[in-house]
Amino acid sequence: MKLIRNLSRTPEGAVGLCILAILALIAILAPVLSPGDPLHIAGRALLPPFSDPNFPLGTDRLGRDVVAGIIHGTRTSLLVGIAAALAAITIGLCVGLTAGFAGGLIDEALMRVVDAFQIVPSFLLALAFVSVVGASVPIVVLAIALGAWPNPARLTRAQVLSIKERDYVASARVIGMHPVEIALKEILPNALPPVLALSAIIVAAAILTEAALSFLGLGDPNTVTWGSMIAEGRNILRSSPFLSIFPGIALVITVVGVYLFSEGLTKALAGRRIEA
């Protein structure tokens, strides 16, 4: 609760938190706000925006409701972004904690694995993985996480290398605490805040990567996404630009909200460390 209060006191954090809260509410209430399958044909094709009260933002080439697509696309984008960030942070924490705490050959071996993953651009890695394995939401999440975990791993390792030399860690060794217990109880909680601040950046990058994959036709074909909606309007951009503009605006708002939240979270965590 104290962290939330500190977060809401920063302008970036307050705006970002409001944006994400609204988006989360839309995602949770998507079946209520727009019941039914958003991929089903709902009306006449290519209805312009604000011309029919039943379709405030118009319809696409197949007669699907644009509002329904944006609402359900919110759920997909947040699900992919949060799930990919959780997976990347979990892998990164495990690898970074093990490498930093164990040191020696284990540290060298794990860091060479991190280097190998960082050589390949994350988007190209996700693109290749989805192309080979197939397109579905879990596969897209895994593909994005595979390209995102090295940065949390490096950051965690750096934090662990600094923390494990401190007096309270040495005291834990003296009283006979097991190394695993020291790593999990004494080192991990103190190494976590900077990694959590990085997680918001990973969420934003994951949302953009998912949109790009869907735009290229590599998203889940059974799920509506903002990227696929933008791609749908690409071929008729001159006659019906709204088909790409509205999901594009939703994507921009979401990414900006996540980045603002990240800035606020960084300041809130820094403030808490100063108070401590």
Per-residue confidence (pLDDT) for residue 192, from 0 to 100: 86
Whether the per-residue pLDDT at 196 is higher than 50: the answer is yes
Smallest CA-to-CA distance from 260 within 77, 6, 18, 5 is with: 18
**CATH class assigned to 74-275:** mainly alpha
Rounded to the nearest 5 degrees, what angle is found at the Cα of 155, between the Cα atoms of 154 and 161?
A: 90
pLDDT at 275 over 60: no
- Report whether 158 contacts 76 (CB < 8 A): no
Tell me whether residue 39 is exposed, middle or buried, using C-beta atoms within 10 angstroms of its C-beta: 0 to 12, 13 to 18, 19 or more: middle
Long-range contacts of 23-31 (CB under 8 A, 24+ apart): 23/74, 23/78, 23/253, 23/254, 23/257, 24/78, 26/71, 26/74, 26/75, 27/74, 27/75, 27/78, 27/79, 30/71, 30/72, 30/74, 30/75
Angle, CA of 14, 75 and 225, to the nearest 5°? 115
What's phi and psi for 98, nearest 5 deg? Answer: -65, -45
Domain residue ranges in the chain: 74-275
With 80 as the cut, is the pLDDT of residue 272 above it?
A: no
Rg (alpha carbons) of the chain, rounded to whole number:
22
pLDDT > 50? residue 261:
yes
* pLDDT for 94: 93
What is the rounded distance in angstroms from the CA atom of residue 112 to the CA atom of residue 50? 56
The two structure tokens encoding residue 90:
């979990």
3-state helix vs strand vs coil in the chain, percent to 5: 75, 0, 25
The answer to whether the beta carbons of residues 66 and 228 sit under 8 Å apart is: no
- pLDDT for 73 equals 93
HSE value, Cβ hemisphere, 13 Å, CA-based, for 76:
30
Local confidence band at 274 (pLDDT 50, 70, 90 cut-offs): very low
Give pLDDT tens digits for 198-243. 888 899 999 999 999 999 988 888 889 999 999 988 888 888 999 9
